[in-house]
Amino acid sequence: MSVTAARGFRASGISAGLKESGRPDLGLLVADAPAAAAGLFTTNAFPAAPVVLSRLHLAGGACRAVVVNSGQANAGTGEPGMADARATAAAAGELLGTGPGQVLVCSTGVIGPRVKMGELVAGLPVAVEALDDGGGPGFARAILTTDREPKEVVVHADGFVVGGCAKGAGMIAPDLATMLVFLTTDAAIDPPLLDEVTRAIVGPVFNGLTVDGCTSTNDTVLVLASGGSGVEAAPGSRALAVLEAALGEAAEELARQIVADAEGATSTLVVHVSGAASADEARAAGKAVAGSLLVKTAVFGGDPNPGRLLQAVGASGASLDPMEVSISLAGHRVIEAGRVVAFDEAACAEALKEREVVIRADLGAGDAEATCFGCDLGYEYVRINAEYTT
């Protein structure tokens, strides 16, 4: 049910003709009443037009609707692209009677071309007509580009629900930009607190995810809270703690689904870093390992290679005591006190064939920790990214 599992939300997904394949390409998510809303956006210096617009519309901390198109990213499109994003919000706001400022816009697809506005504007009334409180899966499908599967999650908390869906992972595909994540809840929470929780709990999960190290122009995470459950997540309340845990769980589950579906990947890398001086440094070390080409290809090839792990941790910039660092690979201790040690290479190579490979690193420099998600890199990644021609 993903984004419509929480009370107060309806959604739809239709084929508007934006994708040449004819697959669903227009998603609409609507809150029955203004929902508290928080967002996280790409740090790329070339944010796509819908990113610029949505950031602006989110300033009030509330929204009624999110329009998502797949097929064209509306990035690298200059002022005409901004006009297209504004026209999209205006058309949806008009149809829904909310005004444009209550509408957020997301796009994903090829960078450069303008959105097929004729098709999009013609499709919007159809999407409004199709809105349904069971429309989450249709919405989750309409936002996909080269994903193999939709990515959905529902977490049942104490009296309320957190649901969500996502697409993509970094700029994994032939210039099809973006990770988009939508989380909804029927807990009640004030916008400034929702913003805080989103930055503190949801942000780090997706910042710890790496597929190809390429920060897209369109990355967007939106969290909407309808209050439909009547459960009030007030500052300091138990309900707030439960909501934080549920949002964290939902985000982590979507992150796992994203890397599992990363193009060309055959296995997921889960990198736990402990003993770091700060959570940011733990994440930096974890991403350095999960994002290392040498680690990714070694896992793909089933080669237990401690030197590459040592190299990646050492180059991450995280504070560490070289004589205290220990690292295990798929359950085998390969680095002790900063030295490569003997281990059962055949058994470790066998363990690297699992669908999920866990790497644990302790930096010996503090108490902070973090978990990062990545994937291996093999021929299929090269094929997908090289053999596609524009």
List the structure tokens of 324: 């205290």
Minimum CB distance to its own copies, residue 267 (Å): 12
- Rule CB under 8 A: is residue 49 a binding residue for its own copies? no
DSSP 1: -
- For the four alpha carbons of 289, 294, 296 and 301, in that order, the dihedral sign comes to negative
Nearer to its own copies, 137 or 203 (CB): 203
List the structure tokens of 296: 């990714």
Interacting residue with its own copies among 15, 207, 278, 297 (CB under 8 A): 297
Counting Cα atoms < 13 Å in the Cβ hemisphere of 216 gives 38
Residues forming a β-bridge with 176 = 110
With beta carbons less than 8 A apart as the criterion, state whether 195 and 153 touch.
no
- Rule CB under 8 A: is residue 244 a binding residue for its own copies? no
How many CB atoms lie under 10 A from the CB of residue 353? 12
Per-residue binding string, its own copies, 140-179, x by CB under 8 A, is: -------------------------------x--xx-x--
How many CB atoms lie under 10 A from the CB of residue 32? 13
| Catalytic residue, candidates 108, 178, 198, 210 | 178
Question: Taking contact as CB under 8 A, which single stretch among the options 150-158, 192-200, 251-259, 314-322 is the one that binds its own copies?
Answer: 314-322
How many residues line the site for its own copies (CB under 8 A)? Answer: 68
State how far the Cα of 201 lies from the Cα of 189, in Å rounded to an integer.
Answer: 15
Minimum CB distance to its own copies, residue 188 (Å): 37
Nearer to its own copies, 31 or 310 (CB): 310
- Rule CB under 8 A: is residue 203 a binding residue for its own copies? no
State how far the Cα of 389 lies from the Cα of 283, in Å rounded to an integer.
Answer: 35
- Rule CB under 8 A: is residue 302 a binding residue for its own copies? yes
* Residues of this chain, 334-373, that bind its own copies according to CB under 8 A: 335, 337-340, 345, 349
- Rule CB under 8 A: is residue 300 a binding residue for its own copies? yes
- Rule CB under 8 A: is residue 315 a binding residue for its own copies? yes
Nearer to its own copies, 61 or 338 (CB): 338
With beta carbons less than 8 A apart as the criterion, state whether 207 and 31 touch.
no
3-class SS at 17?
Answer: coil
- Rule CB under 8 A: is residue 241 a binding residue for its own copies? no
- Rule CB under 8 A: is residue 1 a binding residue for its own copies? no
- Rule CB under 8 A: is residue 263 a binding residue for its own copies? no
Per the annotation, the verdict on 178 as an active-site residue is: yes
Q: Which residues contact 354 (CB under 8 A, 6 or more apart)?
A: 267, 330
Interacting residue with its own copies among 20, 21, 22, 43 (CB under 8 A): 43
Looking at the chain, list the stretches that DSSP marks H as alpha helix, in order from N- to C-terminal side: 49-57, 78-96, 117-129, 136-142, 191-197, 203-207, 238-260, 279-291, 293-300, 306-314, 345-351, 379-387
- Rule CB under 8 A: is residue 290 a binding residue for its own copies? no
Nearer to its own copies, 50 or 304 (CB): 304
How many CB atoms lie under 10 A from the CB of residue 305? 21
> Which residue numbers are catalytic?
178
Binding site for its own copies (CB under 8 A): 43-46, 73, 75-78, 110-113, 171, 174-175, 177, 212-217, 292-294, 297-298, 300-308, 310-316, 318, 320, 322-323, 325, 335, 337-340, 345, 349, 377-379, 381-383, 385-390
